[in-house]
Structure 1
Amino acid sequence: MLNLPHPLPIFTFKPSDDSWKENLIISSIGNDLFQPVKILDNFLTFKNIFYNNISKANINKIEKLSTTWKKVYKVELDSTLSYNPGDSVGIIVSNREIYVNEIFKILNIKDRSIEIKIKDKKSKEFKIVYRGLISDYFRNVFSFTEIPKKSFLKAIIECSEEKEIIKFLVSKEGSKKYFELLKYNLIEILTFLKAKPTLEHLVYFANNIKPRYYSLTNEDKNLEFYIGVENTEHIKGHCSSFFDNIYFNSKTHKEKHVYVLGVKKNEFFNLRKSKKYLFISCGIGITPFISFSNHIDNYWVIHGTRSKQDDLTTHLRKKGEITTIISKHERIENFIKNELVGDFIKENCLLYICGPIEMQKKVYNTIKEFYNFVLNEKRVFFDSWL
């Protein structure tokens, strides 16, 4: 899995104690006390974000687009929400059943109803954070796809046959290799480390499932958004894996619904209809502009793609000026040095850039070098779709 040097380089390891165990109580409860898990607990922790009513939505349709650089799906839900162009919808999905089955094998326990209490850091009182089946906890609350905390790795050293590897990963010298764990899910990581943690380890140091946000692309209709899935064995996100699995196992997949957390407003993307717009994107970064194209005509989209087959500008609703750069080598940041682009920018247009962080950085540097005045005039907005 990880390509580690052998022997491991010299590193400094700072051990931790087991005091965390005093802050956790897991107790079995009888079936008569069983209450179904509220899977949306612990999600509403984001500051300055206001949610509409949380609701359950069925998946109407998943359409696979004919792209080659990655799999792209257009997803439609049987739910409608009021939103403005540039807004995104929060989606929560359950874990894959294979993860639930595998973690039970690792823990070597049977399913039962439990109550989890964790000591509040301020009040020092124990508070119930979960009550329900262990299987539902791993199905709907626990995150298998986020990088495990270093505190968790330290805590499971004695449960692992690869103690020195764990010590290296949590050390300062092993930080680069530690972040490579982002490529793998927790089942793969525990298997690699030959680790057998306890239920207490997993619960106390857990990363909970968080909502993923996707730009909405239609209005006053069923919710619609695009989602990209890497064409690799690993590096698949929580939501992307869910929809990918449904598409390829539509006849047998039981979970055909998601939970909608309402709309997250994008203050940077408030449309001012008296302006011209220059939209710069690549790959699936085009999706906010699909929404914008319903509302404005005076725009120019400069979109980078690897092949004609991967061109997503065909999904724009209205046709403004569209330039598609179909090349694996030509870069968007080079194209925007074009004199015609410069003239358009000088006509008091607003610039919106959406796509991978690296692309955004390069575009920003080009704008700073050639069109620094638009930065001073605050006419440039960046939106990350990650």
Structure 2
Amino acid sequence: MLRDALDGLTVVDFTQIGAGPTCTMLLADMGARVLKVEPPAGELGRGLGPGWIGDDSALFHAFNRNKLGVSLDLKSPDGVAVARRLVADADIVVESMRPGVMARLGLGPAQLVNDHPSLIYCSISAYGQTGPYADRAGVDGIVQADSGLMSLIGLAGGEPCKVQAPVVDVMTGYVACMGVLAKLAQRARDGQGGHLDVNLLNSALALQQSSLTSYFADGELPVRAGSAAPYSAPNQAFETSDGWIMVAAYTPERWRRLCELLGLQHLIDDPRFATSPLRVANRPQMVEALTRVFVTRSTQEWLPVLKDADILCARVATYEDVVRHPQVAANRMIGEVEHATLGTIRMPGFPINSAAENSQPSRPAPACGEDTRAVLLGLGYSVDDIAALLARRAIHCGEGASSPAAQRQAVYSQ
């Protein structure tokens, strides 16, 4: 089972917000023991809302299941010393600091891989570890803009739009996870670890594989076209009497069947629409003709009619629709985790597993530092050692008068 594929491996996770936590969550989903290292006030992602589950953001819960929570003050020499102990016992380090920050802390790839040659060290940044933009900070939306992705999204003549789901962050997390898995396979052969440089810009460009290749082919800048595919037609959403329906009928057989079904047989031999490229070139006229028919019936009425004619279609679903989708239910893709104080938390599951594996329970995202004490005891620290580190504020154990949420609020209000 994939749920225990990485059993026995330990990951030290110095990441925050989206991309890095996605990578380490996937590793945890596959059975790795992931130690999420946060500052005493918690990582930045805990405070990004709205969308709250308890004191923390839904975003934090979405990307941090199945991890153990360890809290260290890396501005403290004692905190860095504990971090080095964690790494000495680990197989993989994943970090998402700005390039150079980890090295200044004495936790950079050159230092740690030199000390531990089998260590796999994955750095995730906005633009990469080298080059003219290496020192620039960046987040999902900034890189959506800088990579050209935002120029594709929206309506012709309208403002550019952002994909509201953080697709570049999530894509980068998957790319990083893929790199770590490849490095694990390589290490199994030669025993050597090494450094992986993964960044949001490269991942955003990879998302645009087809669009950029088309640009290289003809030099034409893509035009924003809403839901329409730039390379085929009809392949877009059409308005119905009560909503929208996505239709893909660009092959010759499906185009013919669609025209017959809609009572538009005269379009089959119309020279403007004879091929998919011609339909792309004459898309506005095609859309106008098809929409006049689609708006006469509801989405729910059109779906079975189109499916019976083997025309690819789907409602443009809201999240209310998605959570009731019968195939989502069959795939067990909406999972539940049980939190000791917050109750049941629902979120998407691991997309590779079978439905049977996805039905197994996951551990909720950890409270800040909730496992610090247990992890340090496991490393050989004594109770007195831990008490001394707490007294020097080098570590945080999820205890004390000031909650992480209150500490974050104090930090953000300064």
- Per the normalisation by structure 2, the TM-score is 0.20
- Please state which structure has a larger fraction of its residues in strand: 1
Work out which of the two has the higher radius of gyration on C-alpha atoms and give 1 or 2.
2
- Per the normalisation by structure 1, the TM-score is 0.21
- Please state which structure has a larger fraction of its residues in helix: 2
Q: Which has the higher contact order (CA 8 A, sep 6+)?
A: 1
